[in-house]
Structure 1
Amino acid sequence: MDSDLYRLTRPTEYLDHESPTVRAFVDKALSAQDAKTDVDKAIALYHAVRDGIRYEVYGADLSRSGLKASSVIEAGFGFCVHKSIVYAAAVRSVGIPSRLFYGDVRNHLASERLRELVGGDVFRYHSLTSVHLEGKWVKATPVFNKLLCRLYKIAPLDFDGRSDSLYHPYDELGRRHMEFLQMHGDFDDVPYEQVVGGIRQAHPLLFASSARTAAGSLVDEAGPHPTA
């Protein structure tokens, strides 16, 4: 591995994979799978983050300390920004280079209340993770967990370790779900002021305080719940 790729396996302020919390999360995820290759490990960790960290926009901590991978794991929930950080840290912990990717998206399936707080259907600084596997960079989005997908009638997004895993453009009923409008690119670590400042500037009503989003529940706002 060349020096540039090796640098992208190192812990950072936010991708603190040397912490006991991140190590325990990774060990638990990999011990449950027969993950031998880097691709196997990346897939196992993808599912651990997607379904093991609850996706929730409300009540999310966007402080510097709250965005550390270890803090997100301890909290047990977060939205795309948080979950992409956990995944980037997790794969780095097993020697897989990773970066954080940000882009603005149009989300057509947000709840009515979330649309009001966001100010429409465009969300700034949607986040996912770029991982280096088998000699190339691929994008992975371990964001919406299976239950939330069922509630919002979205097919769960999988990752095969070899091709980009982005949001499906349509939901299970054929309605458009999400589209990328502007790409901000890849970053070695969280560009905190750019990302959190950008979200706060674009969506001020979403914040209950300077660093935490408004209270609520995406599950409750999804309407009648299917049997688990």
Structure 2
Amino acid sequence: MTTDVHPYLSASTHIDADHPDVRATARRLAAGASSEIDIVRACFEFVRDEIAHSADFRRNPVTCRASSVLRHGTGFCYAKSHLLAALLRANGIPAGLCYQRLATGNRAAPYCLHGLNAVWLAQHGWYRLDPRGNKPGIDARFDPPREALAFRLNDPKERDLPGVLAEPLPLVVEVLERCASIEEVLAGLPDLAGDPP
């Protein structure tokens, strides 16, 4: 691996992999796993299935920090990706953040960012996975080497932002920390017009 993995293993303000509750949950999810793949799958399925997507379930509060997502059991896609990254890092597995720019309407404007993850797998390199939560029409899975993400790009203005980031985009954090309710977030979802970072 030529990538410096240190940033993808480190705890930080929003990916607080060193928080006692995050560490305890990471240990519990890894218990009995026979491989790194098993640990990734357990962490992914926990965040996908056990943490409610705020918009799907209309559940407050708005969360951002991984430990807050875990404590409240809810988060938007961005926040859920922070928790998955924290759980993986707490288990010593390099994990980062990825973003897509997607249409919020029926393949048309307005657009917003969607947050997901990438994990470094020894056999496959960086592999993207999406813990946003499944519902009718969305079937995200952990199925390496095949990607099974929540959303496919369908509109000419939709795109995958390049790279794997160690930290969340500042504009995503700003929205999550400023908004007091899910309705506020939904009214001003983060978007990145023009060229990606």
Whether these two folds match at TM > 0.5 is yes
In structure 2, the residue matched to 1:4 is: 4
The structure that has the greater radius of gyration is 1
In structure 1, the residue matched to 2:132 is: 143
> How does the TM-score come out when normalised to structure 1?
0.67
Query: 1:121 and 1:74, CA in 2 relative to 1: closer, same or farther beyond 3 A?
Result: farther
- Give the counterpart letter for 2:54 in structure 1: E
Q: 1:210 aligns with which of 169, 175, 178?
A: 178
Which blocks of at least 5 consecutive residues in structure 2 are unaligned?
A: 185-197
Please say if residues 139 and 149 of structure 2, whose CA atoms lie closer than 8 Å, have aligned partners that are also in contact. no
**CA–CA distance in structure 1, aligned partners of residues 157 and 86 of structure 2:** 24
1:49-88 paired onto structure 2 within 5 Å? 49-57=47-55, 58=58, 59-61=60-62, 66-88=63-85
Instruction: Give the match's secondary structure for 1:27.
Output: helix
In structure 2, the residue matched to 1:191 is: 169
Query: 1:10 and 1:74, CA in 2 relative to 1: closer, same or farther beyond 3 A?
Result: same
In structure 1, the residue matched to 2:193 is: none
Percent identity, aligned pairs only, is 25
Give the alignment's Cα RMSD to 1 decimal: 3.2
Query: 1:51 and 1:121, CA in 2 relative to 1: closer, same or farther beyond 3 A?
Result: farther
Please say if residues 104 and 112 of structure 2, whose CA atoms lie closer than 8 Å, have aligned partners that are also in contact. no
Query: Does residue 1:38 correspond to 2:36, yes or no?
Result: yes
TM-superposition CA deviations, 1:108-136 (whole Å, max 9, x none): 57xxxxxxxxxx76441200001100250
In structure 2, the residue matched to 1:162 is: 145
Query: 1:180 and 1:90, CA in 2 relative to 1: closer, same or farther beyond 3 A?
Result: farther
> How does the TM-score come out when normalised to structure 2?
0.76
Which blocks of at least 5 consecutive residues in structure 1 are unaligned?
A: 110-119, 171-175, 201-206, 217-228
**CA–CA distance in structure 1, aligned partners of residues 21 and 69 of structure 2:** 10
- Give the counterpart letter for 1:76 in structure 2: G
Aligned length: 180
**CA–CA distance in structure 2, aligned partners of residues 215 and 107 of structure 1:** 15
In structure 1, the residue matched to 2:17 is: 17
